[in-house]
Structure 1
């Protein structure tokens, strides 16, 4: 089956999210060398606070055993594969962008789980007072991607020609 232009867009977005996610985590771990639980002021309300997240996005469903860790890796890659198949023939841009963001986020966090046994989270905006989670670019991709898919699902459907 041929990949549509929007399918290629989804794949490009996924690759960009993976690259940005992994580069940002490399920067936090190897360049900034931010110790665990330490915070680095960026600008209000943003600070970088490095933590190891053994769960899924935003620290939900903690997985502290190797079997669960590898199960999450397999699950994330499986979801990414299914979404990639859906993206392949995507006729509309908005869901293609959403799928690319979710695919990239799922793969980015799966890479961390496979390499480190946990996901590197560091984006901290807790000083806003209403968002208590520390997250990363992959988590952001997943969240924004799901929002785009939901927005697209609310669009009225055009009758088939």
Structure 2
């Protein structure tokens, strides 16, 4: 479990540091429609406040506290489940990625009322209108890792 907690801690810290830099050092929110090319044309900083769920779905509804509660409940469940699961190293890392990212986005919702998304990846003439952050990447990779590196309760029973 220590690996899960440390992974979650470092992901949370990295997420919050990147958000701090973009929000307060680069000051991206103060410049509407402003973008910064980091690795043109692949990676661009473009500010977006996500008040909803993935891709801004349900952003018109005030779901701030409900989304905070859901993230905390899922995080607690993942920690409980990974503790009970006879999981290996990669499953514990995956759980830490998911929980660290979820808590990073919870902090955004508490402090700002929305999640700060700012990473935009476009390629090959396709303009991606969506932005995301380090926490979003961690949640996605952690969820995929939990699917791949745990048996999901499908342990084979021996006679």
Q: Do both share a fold (TM > 0.5)? A: yes
Say if 2:147 is the partner of 1:150: yes
Specify every segment of 5 or more residues in structure 1 that has no aligned partner in the other structure, as ranges.
1-6
Pairwise CA distance, 1:152: 2.0
What is the alpha-carbon distance in structure 1 between the residues aligned to residue 109 and residue 36 of structure 2? 24
**Partner-residue secondary structure (3-state), 2:27:** coil
User: 1:21-40, aligned counterparts within 5 Å?
Assistant: 21-34=15-28, 35-40=31-36
**Stretch deviating more after TM superposition (22-31 or 92-101):** 92-101
What is the alpha-carbon distance in structure 2 between the residues aligned to residue 51 and residue 153 of structure 1? 34
**Partner-residue secondary structure (3-state), 1:41:** strand
Query: 1:136-160 deviations in whole A, cap 9, x for unaligned?
Result: 0000001111111222247996777
Pairwise CA distance, 1:132: 4.3
Of residues 137, 142, 158, the one that matches 1:140 is 137
What corresponds to 1:84 in structure 2? 79
Say if 2:11 is the partner of 1:17: yes
Specify every segment of 5 or more residues in structure 2 that has no aligned partner in the other structure, as ranges.
none
CA RMSD of the aligned region, Å? 2.4
**Stretch deviating more after TM superposition (85-94 or 106-115):** 85-94
Instruction: Give the TM-score normalised by structure 1.
Output: 0.83
What corresponds to 1:4 in structure 2? none
What is the alpha-carbon distance in structure 2 between the residues aligned to residue 58 and residue 105 of structure 1? 16
**Stretch deviating more after TM superposition (87-96 or 133-142):** 87-96
- Matched-pair contact (CA < 8 Å) for 2:88–2:149: no
Pairwise CA distance, 1:87: 2.7
Instruction: Give the TM-score normalised by structure 2.
Output: 0.84
What is the alpha-carbon distance in structure 2 between the residues aligned to residue 130 and residue 49 of structure 1? 12
Of residues 32, 46, 50, the one that matches 1:53 is 50
